Amino acid sequence: MVEQAIAMAGTLCDEPDFSTFENKTGLAEDMKFLASMPELCDVTFLVGDTREPVCAVKAVLAARSRWVGPQGNVHQTLIVEEFEPDVFRQLIEYIHTGCVTLQPRTLLGLMNAADYYGLDELRKGCSGFVQCCINVDTVCALLASAERYIQYKCTKSMVQKVLEFVDEHERSP
């Protein structure tokens, strides 16, 4: 019996003497809050025709995306004309938090922004959402946003799916 206890103790001693504890509760909300505070951000994007300000933290941008952005230690202001403010704000929210609410109105812009900035998981998530959100109520919003982003390759595949849906439902009684 003593021999078994010694053998068991030897086995237990072989185990590492550390443990990983994770508490991600609230992390996404904390990161979202961080990006919402201009005084804590070191990058301001002026987005769209209206040059709407969208703030971000340079270190988070560098850590979470392949996008090579602002350089240096000073606060920088960059102009982004390719995307609408709502779309770009969602993109920055995703980069900071890993979460974003997908909605038909901004879906196509977000999918193209994700592709443009090399965020493959977000692009795939948007593409999958297109499959499940195409319905009679969302077709118009999806096609309306397609006009704005027609020059991007993601738009062409999504428009094809929407047109297939319309064609399918046009023939149905």
DSSP 61-106: HHHH-S-----SSS-EEEEE-SS-HHHHHHHHHHHHHS-----HHH
- Residues 96, 132 share a domain: no
Q: How confident is the model at residue 30 (pLDDT cuts 50, 70, 90)?
A: confident
Mean pLDDT for 64-80 is: 77
- Comparing 42-46, 73-77, 149-153, 167-171, the range with the smallest average pLDDT is 167-171
Q: How confident is the model at residue 155 (pLDDT cuts 50, 70, 90)?
A: confident
- Per-residue pLDDT, 67: 64
- Residues 91, 32 share a domain: yes
Mean pLDDT for 96-101 is: 93
Provide the residue range defining the domain that includes 36: 27-101
Q: What is the CATH number of the domain that holds 47?
A: 3.30.710.10
Q: Is residue 93 part of a domain?
A: yes
Q: Are the CB atoms for 88 and 80 separated by under 8 Å? A: yes
- Residues 111, 88 share a domain: no
Among 119, 106, 109, CA closest to 80: 109
- Residues 83, 50 share a domain: yes
With b meaning 16 or more CB within 10 Å and e meaning fewer, what string describes 90-119?
bbbbbbbbeebebebebbbbbbbbbbbbeb
The count of structural domains within the chain is 2
Mean pLDDT for 22-47 is: 85
d(CA 84, CA 107): 12
Collapsed DSSP state (helix, strand, coil) of residue 156: helix
Q: Is residue 83 part of a domain?
A: yes
- Residues 109, 89 share a domain: no
d(CA 56, CA 149): 24
- CA atoms within 13 Å, Cβ hemisphere of 21: 1
